[in-house]
Structure 1
């Protein structure tokens, strides 16, 4: 039984879905280019991190002649050995110079530094998280949209039209999954890096506050 007027609704839905094919393909191309750019940035970041020796608190404690809590030059050595970015190094160095501030003021500044860095690192991760989520979605849309005309072509015996539709469907699927895989891999590794950075940053800030307290 056919509902009166339903054919007009199905035609509207069909036209809308077919109109989305070109934007979906353009979106996949844009995400692919962006994913390659993020991959290059990730490899450069990884190369930079490999050049730096991972900071270990126990090793530093053994090699430090002065007793805990460390102060001044000892904390500077910790900062130099860490994998901090230029921005993080400057923020921590500026706080270390402010010896006249009270402990409460330094605690507030340290909390603000941690909050700012966490937000900044989250913005970086959001870019690759977007690739991991949107890439497969667009790939699936690019798979399903051409299958409708492809099946219609099969019903009419048009095997050329069917093969063209299947090629488009497979290509968009592969590209979408590739984008998602690249984004997920980068996000996973960066998330581990940044959690370690935040832990080290929090530890150094606590050393600065504790060191001044016992000075």
Structure 2
């Protein structure tokens, strides 16, 4: 009997503590839902700008890349007509590497492009996860006071809590859906850009790989000759 009373008391205290904790989270969650929606709107606006630049590109990215390889001194001017900011940066880096005779720098530039777009995609990926999660929290948190109000017969307070809950769900799902669509479209576009530059620089990268292999072979031969001379001595 005493154990049952103690268990009920502890359970009630924990329940009250959790209820108060979730009540404190109500305002931050609603604010978070608004922030997520604003971030999704900003990303949508940025995508509109990216789409406008892509339509105004001076030519296919593979053609621009070949032009940079043919005349590295014109890389900044050619890169300005790239379909995206990351492609422009990569073309500038490729031009600088070719002008300096650093063929391996072309491979590094393509790797940097891949890392840049992955970091950029992480922003919308975060919204894809955070939007529905915040929306669900914004749905569940007002339900507790709403149910208490229903127990007291306060229908108006219940209606207000449900209105907030449904609004948070809608905002979270909307932000997550927009971010998910942007992530898919950007991933496809940037993968196409990377493939175009890789095809255009295939010969240069092959030459760099062959040169690296030749250097490694020369170093290995020199090392073997050095060990041979040591053994003979």
Same fold (TM over 0.5): yes
Matched position secondary structure for 2:201:
helix
Are the counterparts in 1 of residues 136 and 168 from structure 2 also a CA contact under 8 Å? yes
Q: Which residue of 1 aligns with 2:83?
A: 83
Residue 119 in structure 1 maps to residue 119 in structure 2: no
How many aligned residue pairs are there?
A: 195
Q: Which residue of 1 aligns with 2:182?
A: 186
Q: Which residue of 2 aligns with 1:8?
A: 13
Residue 36 in structure 1 maps to residue 32 in structure 2: no
Shift of 1:33: 1.5
Q: Which residue of 2 aligns with 1:208?
A: 204
Which structure dedicates a bigger proportion of its chain to helix?
A: 2
Shift of 1:118: 1.2
| CA separation of 1:161 and 1:204: change in aligned 2, threshold 3 A | same
Distance 2:88 2:61 in 1: 20
Q: Which residue of 2 aligns with 1:153?
A: 149
Q: Which residue of 2 aligns with 1:93?
A: 95
Matched position secondary structure for 2:60:
coil
Matched position secondary structure for 1:52:
coil
Distance 1:200 1:16 in 2: 53
| CA separation of 1:56 and 1:142: change in aligned 2, threshold 3 A | closer
| CA separation of 1:32 and 1:56: change in aligned 2, threshold 3 A | closer
Unaligned runs of 5+ in 2: 211-233
Shift of 1:210: 4.9
Residue 138 in structure 1 maps to residue 138 in structure 2: no
Distance 2:207 2:57 in 1: 25
What do you get for the CA RMSD once the two structures are aligned? Answer: 2.8
Q: Deviations over 1:29-51 (max 9, x none)?
A: 11211211111101110111123
- Alignment match of 1:177 (pick from 173, 179, 191): 173
Unaligned runs of 5+ in 1: 65-70
Which fold has the larger relative contact order, with Cα–Cα distance below 8 Å and residues 6 or more apart in sequence?
Answer: 1
TM-score, structure 1 length as denominator?
A: 0.80
Distance 1:88 1:171 in 2: 43
Distance 1:190 1:45 in 2: 10
Distance 1:56 1:13 in 2: 56
Distance 2:142 2:132 in 1: 16
Shift of 1:56: 8.2
Shift of 1:170: 0.6
- Alignment match of 2:70 (pick from 69, 72, 85): 72
